[in-house]
Structure 1
Amino acid sequence: MYKQRKGLSLVQKVYVIRETEQGQSSRRLARELGVGKTQICNILKRKTEYLAIFNSDGPEARCRKVRKTGNEELNKLMHAWYQTCQNTKSMKAPISGPIIKSKALDYAGQLGLEMFTASNGWLESFRKHHNILAGVQSSVEDSSTSNDVTIKEWESLLLRICQGYRPADIWTLDETSFYFKALPAECVSLGAEQCEEGQRAEERLTLGMCCSMTGEKEKLLLIGHPGKSNHPFEALRPNELPLKWCSNKRVWMTAQTFEEELRDLDQSMQSQTRKIILFLSDTMCHPNIPLSNIRLQYFPPSVLSKLQLLGRGVFREVKAHYRNILLEYVLSMKRGMVTYQQIARRITPLDAMYWIEKAWNKTSAGVINQCFAASGFKNLGVIEIKETCSATENFDQVGETLLTHFRSGQSGDHPEWKDFVSFDDNVATYDQAVGDSEPRLVEDCVSLTTRKLIPDMVYEECQPDAAQLLFSLNQSRAYALRNGDAHMMGLVMDLRTHLSRVACRSHSLTDPL
């Protein structure tokens, strides 16, 4: 007789996910819950989806099954629109059902969903999924402070706000944008552009940085342009990339991307059994989201421009390290009649991704701690990390030397090193045009599908196979031997081992090395 398949509640599914993360086997969990091993595996495949719904604390967390309706993109878009309305001071009045349905029909037409009717059933489902009661979205405990506070008042408020949190559990998240292939001669003209309408998107990248007061750092988020072809970078899986990548046509942080980042961070803190407080700027791209292990605390607008937490040194340190690497690369690639500008134009977002990772890793915990202290957190009993400024002075000296080499033989005005490092600090990182931002939501929502994609901009004229690369490494090996560079020799031998394995797998190795 056919045995009816047993369904599991969302709570049970989350239990499966948590137990698996602790090392429990799928077979044991299947036996414990009285289900098949295949059902356990299917739950694990959709764990991100289940955890996101469970963390929302909405009525849907009590549902047994999570069904796909075919309107997922529209629902994401409507949620982004709703959050935009709630985060706009002039639009915080409750939004009625007819208004939501009318807006849904408008967006459905733009997305080409001809069969969508915005029924009462859809409206009820949308409200339940996003925990919207009587037109107002339920949120975490209101932890905002008065908007009209002074710096001294803010410093005294911090003692109360951060009560119960260790310094290691006090975090911040912010974004900065930069031109990833700009050379010194270009920074004068580019520095005057704030890109408030998303201009020069293909030349820019936006970085999302998240770190704690004690210098603990999360993996960076890199937001770039999807490119003309939007091809996935198939050679590397998303989880193998040094940074997290997503894309949209204006290279901005959006509310949807921000929410995904917070959900990931919240899950990370859950797995560590930690509760943190996260300080944020009160902007349109930072919506208030209910989370289980993260408390969101927004800086009052009256002190935000004066505090600029990560802007007090962390942004500069990352950009300085990055532009050191950029200049080293451009100078080392100069050959014959090839210009620096031609070399820079061939730099891809993938190149920038690896350079930014190195820059972030070199950013010291001492610099992060000093930025927190300068932003009013110095009275929280933090033991300042004892680091001299010699490291910062050293890479500034290296940068000035590289810039001097770059200037030689170059005509035109060139900036000082400090100006080159921070010329793009004022470039927009999110949509600041509240009045006309709504038409962009459709485009930004659709661009979320490219979150796991990175434009493959490898040069088509240079695509050697593994065997050819193996033979070319002999020159690198000889160079390392001639100069007595043991570190380089180790890197070359590791790369040779890896390429040998790849070549054997693809049967491309035809001659002995």
Structure 2
Amino acid sequence: MTSKIFVDWMKRTNQKFRFGNRNVLIFVDNCSSHPDVEASNLRLVFLPPNTTSKLRPMDAGIIQSVKINYRKRVIRHLISRMEACNTASELVKLVNILDAILWIKDVWSNLSITTIQKCFTKCGFQRQIEASESDILASPFEEIMRETEFILDGITLSQFATFDNNLATFATSRDDWETEIVEKAKGVDLNDSERYSDENEDSNEDQKERSDKVISMTEAGVMIGKLKKFLFLIMKKVSLK
């Protein structure tokens, strides 16, 4: 998150509620990427600095629910592509940025209103109804656990969903904060970036040398993914005209 993204989002959201003649109160985490923006139909209320998840609905289960369901899609995708790869490094490269964007969008769109309501209730926004974490994640969480336990090899899905909790998610004072976030997410030391880049280029060259012979279901799935990316780019160009 950056200040620019937040301000742009505020403008679009305010316009939406202005057209609907609605006034909305938004509780916002207190961080440098959330400037105090004045808007006609929106009012920001900042939570105290360094508050715990007891006051933040997003941290009370909403983000975890999104992460769990997103990583469920990642695992399903990797399982469907396993036969086409010889190594784990080849397999993980079959997940691209477009896939991640579409999966996150789909997960967020399918997040139930009940889950969001229970997370707000858990933080005290509605006192007459109590909600626990087990209520918020119960049935879908159990279903996902059954589907993925064989591939996680002893790691719980909850651990898998939260392994990146310590990664920065907003702009910092460092000039290279974006690079730092990306490299940490990859598990790459910034000092080893050049070596990592060279290895990645060599790996990409090896991958290009592979020729498609017989089309299997797995390969067909990969091609569908490429077609999806092509259509996404075409639609983006059309929308810009």
Q: TM-score, normalised by structure 1?
A: 0.32
1:159-178 matches, cutoff 5 A:
none
Classify 1:315/1:302 alpha carbon distance in 2 versus 1 (closer, same or farther; 3 Å): closer
| Alpha-carbon distance in structure 2 between the residues aligned to 1:340 and 1:440 | 29
The Cα of 1:401 is off from its aligned counterpart by 3.0
Partner of 1:418 in structure 2? 158
Contact persistence 2:14–2:39 (CA under 8 A): yes
Q: Secondary structure at the match of 2:40?
A: coil
The Cα of 1:361 is off from its aligned counterpart by 2.4
The Cα of 1:261 is off from its aligned counterpart by 0.9
Q: Which amino acid aligns with 2:159?
A: D
Partner of 1:325 in structure 2? 73
1:191-340 matches, cutoff 5 A:
253-301=1-49, 303-304=51-52, 306-335=54-83, 338-340=86-88
The Cα of 1:322 is off from its aligned counterpart by 0.8
> Normalized per residue, which structure has more helix?
2
Contact persistence 1:324–1:398 (CA under 8 A): no
1:406 correspondence with 2:151 = yes
Classify 1:303/1:418 alpha carbon distance in 2 versus 1 (closer, same or farther; 3 Å): closer
| Alpha-carbon distance in structure 1 between the residues aligned to 2:47 and 2:137 | 28
Partner of 1:469 in structure 2? none
Classify 1:384/1:269 alpha carbon distance in 2 versus 1 (closer, same or farther; 3 Å): farther
| Alpha-carbon distance in structure 1 between the residues aligned to 2:52 and 2:90 | 40
Q: How many residues are matched?
A: 187
| Alpha-carbon distance in structure 1 between the residues aligned to 2:84 and 2:12 | 48
The Cα of 1:398 is off from its aligned counterpart by 3.4
Classify 1:314/1:407 alpha carbon distance in 2 versus 1 (closer, same or farther; 3 Å): closer
Contact persistence 1:255–1:287 (CA under 8 A): yes
The Cα of 1:260 is off from its aligned counterpart by 0.8
| Alpha-carbon distance in structure 2 between the residues aligned to 1:426 and 1:276 | 31
Q: Which amino acid aligns with 1:342?
A: E
| Alpha-carbon distance in structure 2 between the residues aligned to 1:297 and 1:274 | 17
The Cα of 1:428 is off from its aligned counterpart by 1.2
Partner of 1:396 in structure 2? 141
Classify 1:439/1:424 alpha carbon distance in 2 versus 1 (closer, same or farther; 3 Å): closer
1:358 correspondence with 2:106 = yes
The one-character-per-residue Cα deviations of 1:293-318 (angstroms, maximum 9, x if unpaired) are 10011112264554222110001110
Gaps of 5+ in 2: 180-203, 209-214, 218-223, 235-241
Classify 1:357/1:377 alpha carbon distance in 2 versus 1 (closer, same or farther; 3 Å): same
Q: Secondary structure at the match of 1:400?
A: helix
Contact persistence 2:85–2:91 (CA under 8 A): no
Q: Secondary structure at the match of 2:126?
A: helix
Q: Secondary structure at the match of 1:278?
A: strand
| Alpha-carbon distance in structure 1 between the residues aligned to 2:53 and 2:140 | 28
The one-character-per-residue Cα deviations of 1:319-370 (angstroms, maximum 9, x if unpaired) are 1111111111111111166234321122111001111122112321111111
Classify 1:417/1:354 alpha carbon distance in 2 versus 1 (closer, same or farther; 3 Å): same
The structure whose Rg is larger is: 1
CA RMSD, Structure 1 to Structure 2 (Å): 3.7
Partner of 2:118 in structure 1? 370
Contact persistence 2:25–2:44 (CA under 8 A): yes
The one-character-per-residue Cα deviations of 1:472-501 (angstroms, maximum 9, x if unpaired) are 8xx8xxxxxxxxxxxxxxxx9xx9xxx9xx
Classify 1:272/1:309 alpha carbon distance in 2 versus 1 (closer, same or farther; 3 Å): same
Classify 1:366/1:438 alpha carbon distance in 2 versus 1 (closer, same or farther; 3 Å): same
Q: TM-score, normalised by structure 2?
A: 0.65
Contact persistence 1:280–1:286 (CA under 8 A): yes
| Alpha-carbon distance in structure 1 between the residues aligned to 2:85 and 2:34 | 48
Q: Secondary structure at the match of 1:266?
A: helix
Q: Secondary structure at the match of 2:83?
A: coil
The one-character-per-residue Cα deviations of 1:152-176 (angstroms, maximum 9, x if unpaired) are xxxxxxxxxxxxxxxxxxxxxxxxx
Classify 1:439/1:350 alpha carbon distance in 2 versus 1 (closer, same or farther; 3 Å): closer
The Cα of 1:416 is off from its aligned counterpart by 1.8
Classify 1:258/1:375 alpha carbon distance in 2 versus 1 (closer, same or farther; 3 Å): same
Q: Secondary structure at the match of 2:109?
A: helix
The Cα of 1:397 is off from its aligned counterpart by 2.9
Q: Secondary structure at the match of 1:333?
A: helix
* 2:97 alignment partner, one of 316, 337, 349: 349
Contact persistence 1:275–1:293 (CA under 8 A): yes
Q: Secondary structure at the match of 1:326?
A: helix
The Cα of 1:269 is off from its aligned counterpart by 0.9
Q: Which amino acid aligns with 1:424?
A: D
1:54-133 matches, cutoff 5 A:
none
Gaps of 5+ in 1: 1-252, 409-413, 444-458, 462-471, 476-491, 503-513
Q: Secondary structure at the match of 1:282?
A: coil
The Cα of 1:438 is off from its aligned counterpart by 7.0
Contact persistence 2:54–2:122 (CA under 8 A): no
Q: Which amino acid aligns with 2:30?
A: D
Contact persistence 1:279–1:299 (CA under 8 A): yes
